[in-house]
Amino acid sequence: MAVNDTKRFTALQVMADAPVIPVIVLSDVAHAVPLARALVAGGIRMLEVTLRTPVALACIEKIARDVPEAVVGAGTVRSAADAQAAALAGARFAVSPGYTHSVGQACHDLGLPLLPGVATGAEIMAAQEDGYTQLKFFPAMQAGGPAMLKAWQGPFGDVKFCPTGGVTAANARELLALDNVVCVGGSWLTPADAVAQGDWARITQLALQAKNLQ
Ligand code: 3PG
């Protein structure tokens, strides 16, 4: 899939681009571009920058502007205002830790692909009611892991998941082997110490390993 700074992606395309969507927490704007480049060098282009730090939106803006090979999205989107700020900063997809109608509506209105977080059948049904069928299962390993995903294959056979939360290089394969899993999400590609030290080679290596998971 060619990536450029004008192409729009569906949520399914965001999920299917690589086996792993890295969950990124940045506390220094100076780290944003080299980190994004390190992940892209390892073949991972869909990047979720979480709105958990004061510099998160500035980081999204920088990656969107300076790393055209990457497709930057916003994570930890918890309100319509978060979605609007993320889109304004240049985010091209959104990920939320849970689902609310207002977040779903805001992303729909913005044309921003959303992977809404769910952990129960009721949440899946609420997201589906609003048209969302590609969902993040969060927190995946804490909330039932592969067994939960298998249980959902019956009643929610039309839903595809990105399990996130407690996923590692060690357990990702088991999740990726499930029919209703397209990709996984996780923070293990961007260890805090590697980011702090600017050890971009290590992050490229972790990305390469993640890209080869499937
Ligand atoms: C998160 O929201 O922090 C993500 O789910 C990442 O979880 P992880 O650190 O367990 O990969």
For the chain, the domains span: 11-211
Residue 153 CB coordination number (10 Å): 13
Helical spans, DSSP H, in the chain: 11-16, 29-41, 56-66, 80-89, 101-110, 121-129, 145-152, 172-176, 192-197, 200-211
| Six-digit token string for 185 | 């999400």
| CA nearest ligand 1 atom 5, residue | 165
Strand partners, 127: none
Tens of pLDDT, residue by residue over 7-32, are 789 999 999 999 999 999 999 999 99
Once rounded to an integer, what is the mean pLDDT over residues 203-211? 98
Given the residues 48, 123, 160, 211, the one annotated as active site: 48
Q: Which of 75, 44, 38 is nearest to 57 (CA)?
A: 75
Check the CA dihedral 124-190-29-36 and report its sign.
negative
- Quick one: 11-211 is in which CATH superfamily? Aldolase class I (3.20.20.70)
Residue 66 CB coordination number (10 Å): 12
| CA nearest ligand 1 atom 3, residue | 165
Query: Does the pLDDT of residue 137 top 70, yes or no?
Result: yes
How would residue 51 be classed by pLDDT, with cut points 50, 70 and 90?
A: very high
- Is 62 annotated as catalytic? no
Q: What is the pLDDT of residue 2?
A: 43
How would residue 47 be classed by pLDDT, with cut points 50, 70 and 90?
A: very high
Tens of pLDDT, residue by residue over 94-130, are 999 999 999 999 999 999 999 999 999 999 999 999 9
Tens of pLDDT, residue by residue over 57-77, are 999 999 999 999 999 999 999
Q: CB of 137 closer than 6 A to ligand 1? A: no
Q: Tell me the whole-structure pTM to 2 decimals.
A: 0.95
73, 94 Cβ separation under 8 angstroms: yes
CA of 185: how far to CAs of 18, 79, 114, 213, in Å?
10, 21, 14, 13
Q: What is the pLDDT of residue 110?
A: 97
Q: What is the pLDDT of residue 156?
A: 98
